[in-house]
Amino acid sequence: MKKTYSLFKSLVLSMILFLSQASYAQQAANNPPLPQGIKTGIFSQTVIYNGDTGSVNYYVPPTYNPAKKYKLIVYIGVINASNLITSFVTSLHLDTIASSPYYLNAIIVNPVLPTSIAPPTDTNKVGLAMHNAMSTYNIDPNYVYINGLSWAGRYTIWYGLVNWKRFRAIYAVTPDFELFDFGAPDGPTYSYANGKYIPMIIRVGSDENSNLLTDGTDDAINYRTFEPRLYRRFVDSNAIVSFAPEYSRVHEMPQPEMQFMGFNMLDKLASSYANNDAGISAVSTPAEECTSSFSPLLTIQNKGVGTLVSAKINYQVDGGSLHSVTWSGNMLRLQKDTVRLPLQSLTAGSHTIKAYTTLPNGVTDAVPANDTITVSFNTITKGHSINFTEGFEENTFPPPGWTLAGDGYFNWLRTDSNAFGWTAIPKLIGSNLFGGHTKSASAIYFDNVVGDNTGKKYAIRTPQYDFSTVSGPSLSYDYAYYQSGVATDTLAIYYSKDCGLTWSLLSKTEGTNLNTTNSLTGTINGILYPNYQTNSLWKTNTIDLSTIPGITGQPEVMFSFENISGHASLLYLDNISISGTTGIPVQKQESVSLEVYPNPTNGVCSININSSGKDNYLLEVKNMLGQLLYSEKLTDFSGIYTQQLDLKRYGSSVYFVSLKTQSNETVRKIIVN
């Protein structure tokens, strides 16, 4: 019965869409275009729709020039029927910045839909408004966007995905998703699969209603539950989607500069609308490469509108010899694929890799300007010097050399963050100036309340640091947290001395043990927002690293601060510091040596162990992903031991040979050409 209903519902939706398209010409015939070039500014047009009289609002730049092409924004908004123009002006801030650069190159058309609307009804009026605007003004058909607020944000996503070929991008603001958007009989059916063909932003305000609901009849808990949940569903469908919180905002349009910064971002992600247009959209390299060789992972994208079946990928490292590989497949508009390049040998220092495409489908690329990407990165043979404090005040996040890693789609952010840039300005959350410790503008935080990340782990990781000549080292950090319910979040800190291949636990604190305050002071709806102007809601923790086996005397040690989500609260970090006395060589009593040769090798290598005292040893070989390839135990062993291995069958790459005892570990890196 359920399958029968679903099939019937799909047929009904398809029929409604078909009838909407079929009657479009009839509706347009009853509504001739506006007199071209006559009206600018803000005005309203009366249209006849299915026999009823309705309104469409317009904004046309006062400096409109018919010789220039303009963008078109189809804005679906919450409109007060008693004063349509006033609501339109207020929603888009047209009353204060109509002459600003953000609006000079865009015409806005606002088909007024009833506030009770839910997809998929009333689609003709949107198409009719687009037709009238494009018939009257000089609009570039490749730059048409759909934008909606609140319930109309849901409508924007639904209509934009169904009609994705009509639009350059979808921009939904506080879409007010509700329980029935997730499968109830009266909910819309979103075309999730179409999300990979058109870029989309879901922008939300952080101060949305935070009351949990038990049914689908009321407003949903948007920012922290349903909107992230729908975002994840789009991500799982390989959609080109961004989830963009804007702090200190509620159920309202963004500030104009943020609104149009979003459109600029969508422009960069959108199709070029040309045939035979490919490009490299990403090069995967660590922020700081630990090894003397790496194998880059490129992302090739069909940036045009036709099907892409082949392309040539060209690449250079440090401006050296030009190499190329051939890609073949089948990608529609904006679809992506990955290509792993051969192993590249590197020296310590700064490097660049440049990659670009040529000959899409065997012909000249239609838009060469979007073919190329250049990425900079560093390789190191020894860690950075210690005695530093990272306060997260830089203009970029994560800071240079730091990396983010996580199980899902959310991660650590700065307290002064927005979705498209970083500014050193404390945000106003309620009555709090939301910032960092010691009256700094910035800290970092993880929001465990957004969506439900229960059990998932999200880490921010430091670069490598040199402890080979350090005595008395310590790690300290400031943190803030308040748990008011029964759910439990955890902060775990790890260290690695093999470039993140393996991690050892330093400390772990969870639940109310993380609390830096025992009252509701500084909280809004039970969530802590530490005040920029006071330190009373923060605590400092210091870990003595000199007592940790495997850190003192090591030249390459990195640290990981990991949030393990329990869907409870927000966790903040600031002023991560490593200190100690440098320049004093640390004496290490080594009774065993480990040699691996030849290095590099064509595949066959010899592993030589020389132990002057009896001990239990574990010999392991792992690849760069940490996968175990070989393991052997040497029990109560002393003397010389040699083992020959053939790593060629695992492919050209970097491998790690480790020799472990109960109290120590020695790691050697080997390159297989």
Q: What is the pLDDT of residues 642-666, one digit of tens each?
A: 888 888 888 887 788 888 887 677 7
Region of residue 155 (phi > 0: left; psi between -120 and 50: alpha; otherwise: beta): alpha
- Residue 256: phi and psi, rounded to 5, are -55, -45
Q: Tell whether 649 is covered by a domain.
A: yes
- Tally of CA atoms within 13 A in the half-sphere of 232 that contains its CB: 15
In the three-class reduction of DSSP (H, G, I as helix; E, B as strand; rest coil), residue 144 is classed as strand
pLDDT of residue 316: 93
Q: Which of 559, 582, 605 is the last residue of a domain?
A: 582
Q: What is the pLDDT of residue 460?
A: 92
User: 28-37, 191-200, 490-499: which has the minimum mean pLDDT?
Assistant: 28-37
Q: Is the pLDDT of residue 361 over 70?
A: yes
Is the distance from CB of 579 to CB of 387 less than 8 angstroms?
A: yes
What total of structural domains would you count in the chain? 4
Residues 288 and 412 in one domain: no
- Residue 9 CA to residue 119 CA, distance in Å, equals 13
Does 587 fall in a domain?
Answer: no
Half-sphere exposure of 509 (CA within 13 A, CB side): 16
Question: 546 and 459 in one domain?
Answer: yes
Please give the Cα distance from 240 to 235 (Å, whole number): 7
- Pairing status of strand 200-205 against strand 169-173: parallel
Average pLDDT over residues 367-389: 82
Is pLDDT of 214 > 70?
Answer: no
Which pLDDT does position 285 carry in this prediction? 63
- Say if 110 falls within a structural domain: yes
pLDDT value of position 575: 87
DSSP 384: B
- 277 pLDDT above the threshold of 60: yes
Task: Give the pairing of strands 278-284 and 169-173.
Answer: unpaired
Q: Which amino acid is at 124?
A: N
Lowest mean pLDDT among 68-77, 132-141, 267-276, 591-600: 591-600
| Residue 559's CATH number | 2.60.120.200
Residue 92, phi then psi, degrees to nearest 5: -100, 10
Q: How many CB atoms lie within 10 A of CB 201?
A: 23
Q: Which CATH number do you get for residue 604?
A: 2.60.40.3080
CA neighbours within 13 Å on the CB side: how many for 455? 0
Q: Which domain holds residue 41?
A: 2-269
Report the alpha-carbon distance of residue 446 to residue 457 in Å, rounded.
11
Q: Which amino acid, residue 276?
A: N
44-53, 62-71, 504-513, range with the lowest pLDDT: 44-53
Does residue 563 lie in a domain region?
Answer: yes
pLDDT band for 509, please (50, 70, 90 cuts).
very high
Same domain membership, residue 515 and residue 411: yes
Cα radius of gyration (the chain)? 29
Confidence (pTM): 0.61
606-641: pLDDT as tens digits: 888 888 778 888 998 887 667 788 999 988 888 888
* 236 and 88 within one domain: yes
- The sign of the dihedral angle between the CA atoms of 565, 567, 568, 574 is positive
Q: And the tokens for 178?
A: 């509700």
> Among 36-50, 500-514, 653-667, which range has the highest average pLDDT?
500-514
140 and 253 both lie in a single domain: yes
74 shares a domain with 202? yes
pLDDT exceeds cutoff 80 at 13 = no
Closest of 19, 90, 97 to residue 62, by C-alpha: 97
Q: Which residue has the higher pLDDT, 189 or 8?
A: 189
Is the per-residue pLDDT at 300 higher than 60? yes
Q: What percent of the chain has pLDDT over 70?
A: 68
User: How many residues are present in the chain?
Assistant: 673
For residue 523, is it within any domain? yes
Average per-residue pLDDT for the chain: 75
Cα–Cα distances in angstroms (integers) from residue 632 to residues 187, 535, 621, in the given order: 58, 52, 9
pLDDT at 123 over 50: yes
The whole-number pLDDT of residue 264 equals 81
pLDDT value at position 386? 84
Contact 463, 383 (CB under 8 A): yes
pLDDT: is 577 or 209 the higher one? Answer: 577
Q: Which of 555, 582, 609 is the last residue of a domain?
A: 582
DSSP state of 224: I
If asked whether residues 157 and 301 sit together in one domain, one would say no
Residue 326: the pLDDT is: 95
As a whole number of angstroms, the distance between CA 78 and CA 33 comes to: 25
33 with 180, same domain: the answer is yes
Cβ atoms of 201 and 177 closer than 8 Å: no
Of the given ranges (95-99, 248-252, 417-421, 588-592), which has the lowest mean pLDDT? 417-421
For residue 380, name the pLDDT band (cuts at 50, 70, 90). low
Asked whether residue 396 falls in the same domain as residue 331, the answer is: no
The CATH code of the domain that includes 80 is 3.40.50.1820
**Tokens read off for 131:** 């037709």
Q: Are residues 528 and 394 in the same domain?
A: yes
pLDDT at 532 over 80: no
Helix (H) or strand (E) holding 22: helix 2-22
pLDDT at 121: 52
- d(CA 260, CA 523) in angstroms, rounded, equals 32
Distance CA 47, CA 56 (A): 7
Q: Is residue 374 part of a domain?
A: yes
Q: Which DSSP letter does residue 458 get?
A: E
The rounded percent of the chain whose pLDDT value lies above 90 is 18
Same domain, 552 and 632: no
Phi and psi (nearest 5°) for 3? Answer: -65, -40
Residue 562 has pLDDT above 90, yes or no: yes
- 69 pLDDT more than 80: yes
CA distance 506 to 242: 34
- Residue that has been written with the tokens 């104009």 in this structure: 256
Q: Which tops the pLDDT comparison, 227 or 564?
A: 564
Q: Give 208's pLDDT tier (boundaries 50, 70, 90).
A: low
Distance CA 423, CA 153 (A): 28
- The confidence score (pLDDT) of residue 437 equals 58
> Quick one: DSSP state of residue 89?
H
Query: 331 burial class (0-12, 13-18, 19+ CB within 10 angstroms)?
Result: buried
Given a cut of 60, is residue 398 above it in pLDDT?
Answer: yes
CB-CB contact of 306 with 341 (8 Å): no
Which of 43-52, 124-133, 192-201, 534-543 has the weakest average pLDDT? Answer: 43-52
Query: Which CATH number is 353's domain given?
Result: 2.60.40.10
Cα(186)–Cα(82) distance, integer angstroms: 29
More reliable by pLDDT, 428 or 101 = 101
Say yes or no: 190 and 293 in one domain: no
